[in-house]
Structure formats: C-alpha cells, structure tokens
Amino acid sequence: MIRLTLISLLLALLPAHAREPAIHLIGDSTMADKPDAAHPERGWGQLFRQLVRKPARTHNHARNGRSTKSFIAEGRWDAALKMLQPGDRLIIQFGHNDEKADNPAVHTTPHGSYRDNLTRFIRESRSRGAIPILATPVARRKWNHGRLSPTHGDYPAAVRQLAIDEKVPLIDLENLTHSLESALGEEGSKKLHLWFKPGEHPAIPQGLADDTHYSETGADTVARLAAMELVRLDPDLAPLLNFAHATVAADGSAAHRDIRSALDALPPSPHGTPRIVHVRPGTYPGPLHIDRQHSQLILTGDPGAAERTVITGDFNLKTPHPDRPGTTLSAQESSTVLIDASDVTCHDLTFENTTPLEARVQALACYLRGDRSAFHHCRFLGWQDTLRPDAHGNSPGRHYFRHCHIEGHCDFIYSAGTAVFEHCTIHSKADGYITAASTPEEKPFGFVFLDCRLTTAAAVKRGVFLGRPWRPHAHTAFLRCHMDAGIHPDGWDSWGKIENTRTARYDEWRSSGPGARPADRVSWSRILEDENASQWTPSKILSPPDSWHPHPLNP
C-alpha cells in the first residue's frame, strides 16, 4: 500500500498527458511482433497493440526463440527495464523455450531458474514503480484421441504459484487458450495456427502444419482474451483498451443510440470474461435497469469524460406511476440506474437524478442490489438518497468506489451493503447527513471511506454530519480522510433514537483538515487504534465470502 501510494503521488506530479500508463510485454514468439508482413505468422502481442487506445502506449519487447534465461543474457531485459515508468504495466509470458532441455542457452528448470528469472522481472520492475503481471504460456494445439493435451509440464504451475507468493496478478493464458482450442475442436482450431497446404499461401509454397504459432485470426483472438482478462484484473485500463462488444453513441454515430439496446444485443459472456459496452460522450435518459442476466459486464466511458457521459433522470418517490393510477414510483422504479446484476464494473460515467432540493424526497441516481460491483472515476449526482449500495436477498452486497465523486445533502449514501470508498470526493451541497447505513448486525463492515476528501458547499451553515443510523447496528468508518470545516463537530447524529447510540458502530481514524475534531465527537463513536485501523484494506473488507477484490493491482 505504501509503495502504491508513493507511485500515486509521483503520477500526480506529472503533466496530464504523461500520466497514461504504457503497457510493456516481454516474452517469446507467441507474443512477439512479426516484421514480415507477407508471412502469415503473427504474435498476440502484435495484435494487442491495435486494442490500445491513445494516449496509452504499447511496447512489445517479446522476441522469437527467447526464454527467461536468454532474454536476460542478451541484455533485452535491461533495455526493457530502463523504459519502465511509474504506473506502467508489464506483462510477462515465457515458457515455450524455457522447456527446451536440449538447448542450454535457453533451458531453465520450472521451479528453479525459471522461477528465479520471473522473480527478478517482478522485483526489478516494481523497483521502477511499474506493475508486473504474470501470464502462463499459451497452449499448443496438440490433440490426442479427440482431446487437447497439455504440453508445458510444470512451467504453468510454477507461474501460478509465483503469482500467489509475490502477490502478482495472473493472466492464465494456458487455461484460456486451452478452453478456446477445445471449444473450436480438432479441425476448427487449425484456423488459430499456421496450417497451409502446399501452394495455398505464396509465402509458404511448401505448406506448413504449425501447432504453436498463430495466424492473424489466432493472434487477434488471443489478444482479445488477454485484454479482457487484463481489464478484469486492472479496471483502470478498461477505458484505454479500444475494443467492446457493443458501442453506444447518443448522436447516432455507433450501432446503438441507447445503453438498453446495447445490453440487449450482447452475446453470452465468453469463457466467463466480462462483456464490454463502450459509452461515448452524450446524455442518456433513464431509467436504466441492468438486470441479473447482464452480470459480468463492464460499462465504460472515454477516459476523463465522465462529466460529458451522463445517464440522467428526474424520477422520485412522488412521481406518479404510469400504470397504477393513484400510486407513485417505488425506490427501484424511480432510480435513474438500477443494477440487479452482479460483477458489474463502471468507468468514467455520471449517474444523475435532477430532482431539486425543494422536492424534499428520495431521488436515487444509482441503486445497487447485486454483488461485486465496482465504479472507477464515476460521478453520482443528486440531493437526497443519491446512492444506495444495498444488499438484496441473499446477496452479500459488496461494492467498491475508487476515484469517484458523490454529492447530495441528506442521507446521500445509504442502505445495507458493504461498500468501500477509496480516494473519493464526498461533497455535501447543504446542511444534512452524508450516510444513513442500515448495516445488519452480523456484518462486520458497512460503509468504509479510505483516503477520501469531504468537501462542503457555501450553502452549509449548521454543519454536515458524517452519518446517522437508518437501522440500530449501522456501521460507518472514515479512515485518513480530509474534512472541510463544514463537517459538524459532533460528527454523528442518533436520528433522535437514544437506543441507537448503544448499538450503532461509528469509527474514525487519522482524520485531517479543519473538520477533523476527534475530541469533540459524540461519546458513542470510536477512534480506532492504530494497530487495528492499519489492517482495514479493501481486500479484507470486501473479500468474504469468496476472496473477491475489485482492484487486485492495488490491494
């Protein structure tokens, strides 16, 4: 955490145009660029470059015939290392040549020199502030009696174990490509590789049957598999990768004008990887319901375009129901965006409810009822009950917000989910309450704010409370947060129920700024002990019951 915090500070000092990360690749021929355009062989790293959107850049250092040993011996690693900058990603994929026991120049042992060399790549790239990502070697097309056979021995297992030991994200390309080849079948999988009859291709008049290297079709397919897995591991890269299963543009310049039609057109999730919908800048009227069938979804705007990519609505609990005379809309019906699906990640979008302050009514911009939802560089705008990160039914209701802006004035972050807000801006537009948690008694965490900024508008006069308990066992915590002077000295309000002061769980640790006044807080809140508070990380808060973490590159 300390290392990544320092990297973040360094990046903040760079000019805006220099902060977009570069993606570096080191590896063998299955990844390498092929300079002979007339020859049909391609490496997946060569096609991966086409998926990266400017201003991000790709540097493919992979070369034919190299192993971890020869890549170092030839000075290629030193050259690549010098290019790494803080925040760059480094994808490491070797194995095909390390396996060659009859060639001492390239051979390594899987749990010996192979692991040692990979460890060197990891640690030295980290010393430069880069983020290493391991990849297992891609599968070969070796069919025996109608089944695809593994060919890499212990090398993939060594990579997987090293990823665990060094806490490095893993793209398991062996498993991904094995599933791909198997799905295509013994005959269909030939199109991924270099299979040509004599005279079929002018560059290979004698023909070829190569089950290791890729055709352009194969390289492109594997590049997309790698990119989708990379996005799952590193959500910050989603807006920088120029591929999507559907694209939306309000001005009609894409296949879909609205997000709903794009969702309806999505194919099934391939190999369990997310389906990606790219939303171009524009205004998109709500309500939008993302139902359970659309789990495994990434909804991404353009980098830095959240203010220009807006999903908006003006519905609220006083809005007449169009189909039930004499009744009004419910919370889920009136929310601008309702997400019932799990595993939904959003980038660079604005969720807005324009119901004015004078209405004095619940008016949700976003209502979350699934599990494992994550938001990066998003904005949530409203007045009352802006954002509802909830737990619905048997769902654990875990939600993650990173570098987001959330604003309102009354209970504008509320409900029963477990949510982490990291490096977010929480803006109070008038006197009121930031949170109204209804955390169940058995849940250890409710709403946890880490390294956030709490800002207040000029309209704030009496002060803004950090929270009040919607239910008796409400839990809310602010750790290392900077607080404006508009934060009320008491910090917390009991909602007029004295019994809540005996059960509500309100924590604070190392607050800063003029609104940080721990000595003035209500007696029934708690200042955390240093030893305990330092253990509060997104992974520990959100991981139970299935070890989920929404941003494993920043644990």
Instruction: List pLDDT tens digits, range 270-281.
Output: 556 678 899 999
Q: Which of 340, 411, 484, 507 is catalytic?
A: 411
Cα–Cα dist 534/525, whole Å = 18
Terminal-to-terminal C-alpha distance of the chain: 7
Q: What's 333's DSSP letter?
A: H
Question: Is the confidence at residue 9, as pLDDT, over 50?
Answer: no
Percent of the chain with pLDDT over 70: 95
| Residue 555's pLDDT band (cuts 50, 70, 90) | very low
| Residue 506's pLDDT band (cuts 50, 70, 90) | very high
Residues 6+ positions from 140 with CB-CB distance below 8 Å: 151, 152, 211, 212
Q: H or E segment at 68? A: helix 68-73
| Residue 94's pLDDT band (cuts 50, 70, 90) | very high
| pLDDT, averaged across the chain | 91
Cα–Cα dist 435/470, whole Å = 9
What structural domains does the chain harbor?
21-201+209-239 (3.40.50.1110), 281-392 (2.160.20.10), 404-543 (2.160.20.10)
* Claim: this prediction has a pTM higher than 0.85: no
Read off the pLDDT of residues 102-115 as tens digits, 9 standing for 90 and up: 999 999 999 999 99
Cα–Cα dist 366/363, whole Å = 9
Question: Is the confidence at residue 391, as pLDDT, over 80?
Answer: yes
Cα–Cα dist 285/436, whole Å = 28
The values of phi and psi at residue 111, to 5°, are: -100, 10
Predicted pLDDT at 59: 97
108 vs 8, higher pLDDT: 108
Please indicate whether residue 385 is annotated as part of the active site: yes
For 45, 472, 492, the CA distances from 496, given in Å and listed in that order, are: 61, 12, 11
Cα–Cα dist 311/7, whole Å = 33
Tokens encoding 371: 């599990």
Read off the pLDDT of residues 305-354 as tens digits, 9 standing for 90 and up: 899 999 999 999 999 999 999 999 999 999 999 999 999 999 999 999 99
Listed range (231-235, 255-259, 445-449, 464-468) with the worst mean pLDDT: 231-235
Cα–Cα dist 537/555, whole Å = 7
Please indicate whether residue 507 is annotated as part of the active site: no
Give the mean pLDDT of 488-515: 96
Q: Which of 98, 220, 236, 385 is catalytic?
A: 385
Residue 246's CB: how many other CB atoms inside 10 A?
20
Question: Is the confidence at residue 539, as pLDDT, over 90?
Answer: no
Q: From its phi and psi, is residue 146 left (phi > 0), alpha (psi between -120 and 50) or beta? A: left
Asked if omega into 552 is within 30° of 0 (cis), the reply is: no
Question: Is the confidence at residue 470, as pLDDT, over 50?
Answer: yes
Give the mean pLDDT of 490-510: 96
Predicted pLDDT at 484: 97
Predicted pLDDT at 553: 57
For 59, 65, 333, 383, 392, the CA distances from 417, given in Å and listed in that order, are: 41, 51, 19, 20, 8
